[in-house]
Structure 1
Amino acid sequence: MSGCGAEKGLMSIDEALELIRTQPKALKTEVLALAQGLNRYLATAIYSEVNLPSFSQSAVDGYAIKRSLTQLQDVCFEVIGEIKAGSELDYQLADGQAIRIFTGGKIPEGTTHVARQEIVQVESDKIRLLEQIKPHADIRFTGEEVQQGQQLADVGQSINIGALAALSMAGVQRIEVFQQPKVAVVITGDEVAESPEDLQAGKVFDANGPLLKAWFKDYGIDVEILHIVDEAAQVTACFELLKYTYDVIITTGGVSVGDYDFVRPCAFETGFEQVFWKVKQKPGKPLFFAAYQSPEQDHHCYLLGLPGNPAAVYVSMQIYGKVLLDALQNQRQAVQWFSAILTHELKSDARERFLRMHAYFEQGQLKLQSLAKQQSHMLSNLMQANCLVRIPANIPLNAGQEVSGIFINN
């Protein structure tokens, strides 16, 4: 078989992902206020220092009552006070007594039930229960959700909004997390247009710079975008400067075998060692991954060289970029691929492909609809795409066959 897809020495997608997932050395840790921990990865497990709830409380607006007998319907109780949420009043109920209580209010001593107000008839300073209720009804007991000393979160867990809220409720104020990588983005090439007039000179508008800046913002990292021309001296000087102060360098363009593709040779000149180059995939075959270790200090810098075509940049960041950034924060789980059903035929290709598709549920099945304009220089179908789908090499696919992919929400 001929063609670029059959080129010898190409690495498989899974082999490349495994190297990016396992080789980077995790960054150091830092302690942050919980409020600053959104989307960070925990470096230490968290255990609750309190019970949740920390005291028994009412689950409804109603009445705390004490009744030694099982019969409650049509029984009257004397109301002796009121407890609001946050109240420090201490009451002790005797048999046949009730206290008006609101949701979150502390259950007074002696309480056997809480009767929600919808089943209570108020009669002056007494109440009558209109229904029978079970013992301990509508009481949230101390520690029923979380026991003191119980593990709340494990090492490696991502602090999403729900986790942040749950930890806040348990009184957690500071967390230890892995540092986020410091990232430099280098856009190479002489063809980027500065104005509409530049288009007439054979240039193109820059999609990669805005794409990557937005991608990193969504991930939670601010990056500086650098533009350099296709000159070996400038590329070398750029890498020499960045490798000491950044954990990751992302480049676009200049990783193939053209006369002006300087990323690989300049990386080698500045001390980077190749981990892999060229993956049997489409788009993004010339993907380049290299590592630098400073001999003077315990510092590593990783270079992920992306092809220049914007679709290849987008796909490579969604698949490989996220794995690299996560690995540096000691998050080394393999990519979780979903399975879904194709709704149409697909021709075979010599390389495994990532196609932009639209996934939707129909009659309980996740189905996939391919989108037009899949070439690596095209981005317009990202307006409709919500997933990237892996299409195996050298196999024509029929409607109804199962394939795997990942969802994209950015």
Structure 2
Amino acid sequence: MALLPVAEALKHILESADTLETEDVSLRHALGRTLARSIEARVDNPPFDASAMDGYAVRAEDVSEVPVTLKLIGEAGAGQPFSGTVAKGQTVRIFTGAAMPSGADSVVIQENVTADGAAVTFREAADRDDNVRPKGQDFTKGRALFEKGQRLTARDILLAAAAGHGTLPVVRKPIVALLATGDELVEPGTPLGPGQISASNSFGLAAVVEAAGGEARLLGIARDTLDSLDDAIRQADGADILVTIGGASVGDYDLVRPALENAGAKLAFYKIAMRPGKPLFFGSRTAGKNQQHCLGLPGNPVASLICSRVFLVPLLGRLLGRDVPLEAIDAVLGDALPANGPREHYMRARLDLTTAPPRAVPFKNQDSGMITALQCADCLIVVPIDAPAQPAGSPVKVLKLDI
């Protein structure tokens, strides 16, 4: 059976997914969330003409010729407006952020003024609107501030608060159940017995999920028996995505696919033309009230994390209502590459952004057992199927690892 190309596998996965439901969250919990609809300002900012400096509010015509002495009639502080009106020959002491008094149209900074009781002498002239922030200078009520599908940053939350929003409508976080499989696995930090290894994949993938805007739920480790797998898969009911790790190959103990089929999953494809990551499958099942996506990743940690970047991250983006394509960028090779074989190769590399175009330097050792090389990498060079040998300086497509 021919292996499915990566692009076709990703297209199938994305076409199976729709945006999740909307919920309102407080600004304190909005960081990193995805807006479910566009947002407009509810107020003007500033909501009134405000002083931009500490000084004295005046009528500009009264200080057009200096020196001149005006009568001090009051004070305006932030949140404590002056209630009267500034008339000819009068001034009000004012502080930064305070509302401009009625009748005043400019502010003279305090460094240019000498005050002696109620007599205030101005040594510098002022024009109308000097040191005044007019109402709505930043934005006005009804102005569009955010687009649907936008992922909220700290700066966005600051703006939303200033625009009068206490809560924001966001897409519900996709829940991703992560199930490691294998008799050889033990929880990280546990002393290793003969033939055992630490179950690292679940923790790396949980970080991927949460960085992409999802909620990760670790189901622990299922043993290489159908009973253990059946029990573990039942724990994933209610999750939007079930990610299984390992047990997806063709060995005697690779029982994940049969266990998923026992749980009602219908597999859409199995095995893809990707290196690393050939033993990957995708399907769906009804799990509780949810139609659950089932993504089977290889047990090899390097292959698992690379496949999560190529398939799981875009799937999460689709569920959140914001497309996250492969985002391949143009670069040139820092070193020569040999000819490629029948699978699209995702090669670990470092990206030098000081050159134009950026220069991608592939690691010499691409062995999928080298987790340290993955940790040192910041991008993947995407080498097409059956690509010929490429000298240094050749154009390539690069996928950034961090999202």
Whether the 8 Å contact between 2:209 and 2:313 is mirrored in structure 1 is no
Superposed CA deviations along residues 65-93 of structure 1, whole A, max 9, x for unmatched, are 21238946655554433322111322422
1:155 CA displacement? 2.1
Specify the code of the residue in structure 1 equivalent to 2:3.
Answer: L
What aligned pairs does 1:208-357 form with structure 2 within 5 A after superposition?
A: 208-218=201-211, 219=213, 221-239=215-233, 241-242=234-235, 244-293=237-286, 299-350=290-341, 351-357=343-349
What aligned pairs does 1:30-41 form with structure 2 within 5 A after superposition? 30-41=23-34
Q: Distance in 2 between matches of 1:347 and 1:196?
A: 41
Counterparts of 1:366 and 1:100 in 2: how far apart (Å)? 56
The one-letter amino acid paired with 2:171 is F
| Percent of matched pairs sharing the same residue | 30
Equivalent position SS for 1:319: helix
Between 247-256 and 208-217, report the one with greater CA deviation: 208-217
- Distance (Å, rounded) in 2 between the aligned partners of 1:325 and 1:69: 63
C-alpha distance in 1 between matches for 2:243 and 2:366: 23
Describe the SS at the equivalent of 1:187: strand
Moved over 6 A (4+): none
Q: Is the 8 A contact 1:342 1:403 kept in 2?
A: yes
Q: Distance in 2 between matches of 1:272 and 1:72?
A: 85
* Aligned partner of 2:354 among 350, 358, 362: 362
Question: Which amino acid letter does the alignment assign opposite residue 397 of structure 1?
Answer: Q
Q: Give the counterpart letter for 2:346 in structure 1.
A: F
Q: CA offsets per residue over residues 210-233 of structure 1, 9 Å max, x none?
A: 322333444452412320112233
One-letter code of the match for 1:137? Answer: D
Question: How far did 1:305 drift?
Answer: 0.6
Alignment of 1:51-200 (within 5 A): 51-68=44-61, 71=64, 77-118=70-111, 120-124=112-116, 125-130=119-124, 134-193=127-186, 195-198=190-193
TM-score (norm 2): 0.88
Tell me the amino acid that sits aligned with residue 324 of structure 1: L
Relative to structure 1, the CA distance from residue 83 to residue 327 in structure 2 (aligned partners, 3 Å threshold; closer, same or farther) is same
Tell me the equivalent position of 2:199: 206
Q: 1:342 deviation in Å?
A: 2.5
Alpha-carbon contact 1:67-1:95 (below 8 Å) kept: no
1:13 aligns with 2:6: yes
Tell me how far 1:384 sits from its aligned partner: 2.7
Aligned-pair distance for 1:185?
0.8
Q: Which moved more, 1:387-396 or 1:70-79?
A: 70-79
Secondary structure (helix, strand or coil) at the match of 1:68 reads: helix
Aligned CA distance change for structure 1 residues 349 and 173 (closer, same or farther; 3 Å): same
* Rounded Cα–Cα distance in structure 2 between residues aligned with 1:134 and 1:279: 71
State the alpha-carbon separation in 1 of the partners of residues 133 and 394 from structure 2: 50
Match of residue 377 from structure 2: 385
For structure 2, list consecutive stretches of 5 or more residues without a partner in the other structure: none
Q: How many angstroms apart in 1 are the aligned matches of 2:82 and 2:312?
A: 57
TM-score after normalising by structure 1: 0.87
Are the counterparts in 2 of residues 80 and 98 from structure 1 also a CA contact under 8 Å? yes
User: Against the structure 1 CA distance between its residues 78 and 43, is the aligned structure 2 distance closer, same or farther, given a 3 Å change threshold?
Assistant: same
Q: Give the whole-Å Cα distance in 1 for the aligned partners of 2:372 and 2:228.
A: 32
Cα deviation for residue 355 of structure 1 reads 2.4
The answer on whether the counterparts of 1:247 and 1:300 sit within 8 Å (CA) in structure 2 is yes
Cα offset for 1:310? 0.4
Q: Determine if contact 1:355/1:374 at 8 Å carries over to the other structure.
A: yes
Q: Kindly report the root-mean-square deviation, in angstroms, between the aligned alpha carbons of the 2 structures.
A: 2.7
Which deviations, in whole Å up to 9, do the C-alpha atoms of 1:116-154 show, x marking residues without a partner? Answer: 345x14253324244x65532332211222221222223
Instruction: Give the 3 Å change call, closer, same or farther, for CA 262–72 of structure 1 in structure 2.
Output: farther
CA contact (8 A) 1:372 1:381 kept: no
| Counterpart position of 1:402 | 395
Moved more, 375-384 or 217-226: 217-226
- Distance change (3 Å), C-alpha of 1:301 and 1:197: closer
Give how far 1:254 is off: 1.3
Contact 1:53 1:145 in 2 (8 A): yes
